[in-house]
Structure 1
Amino acid sequence: MTTIKDVAKQANVSVATVSRVLSKKDTVSEKNIKSVLQAVKELNYKPNALGRYLRTAHTKSILVVVPDITNPFFSDVMKGIQTLATQREYDVLVMDAEHANFNSMKCFDMLEQKQVDGLIMLTSRVDQKTLVELSRQHAIVLACEYLEGTTIPTVSIDNVSAARKITEYLMELNYTNIAHITGPMETVIGADRLRGFKQAFQVKSVPIKASYIQEGDFSIESGYQVMSKLLSMEERPDVVFAANDEMAMGAINAAKTFHLKVPEDIAVVGFDDIKMASMFTPPLTTISQPTFEIGQKSAGLLLDLLNKKPLTQSQFVLEDTLVVRESCGHYLQTDKSDLVINQK
Structure 2
Amino acid sequence: MSALLLRCSRGRVVTGFGTLSASRSKLVTQAAAMPQRCNLRKAHYQTEERGHPNSPDYRIYFKTSEGKYISPFHDIPLEAETEQDSDVPAKKPRKNESKVLFNMVVEVPRWSNAKMEIATKEPLNPIKQDVKKGKLRYVANVFPHKGYIWNYGALPQTWEDPNHQDKETECCGDNDPIDVCDIGTQVCFPGQVIQVKVLGILAMIDEGEMDWKLIAINAEDPDAQNLNSIEDVRKSRPGHLEATVDWFRKYKVPDGKPENQFGFNGQFRDKDFAVEIIKSTHEHWRALVQKQSNGAGIACKNISCCESPFKCSEEESRAVVQSAPAFGAACPVSPEVDKWHFL
Task: Give the TM-score taking structure 2 as reference length.
Answer: 0.22
Bigger radius of gyration, 1 or 2?
1
Higher strand share: 2
Higher relative contact order (CA 8 A, sep 6+): 2
Larger helix percent: 1
The two structures have a TM-score, normalised by structure 1, of 0.22
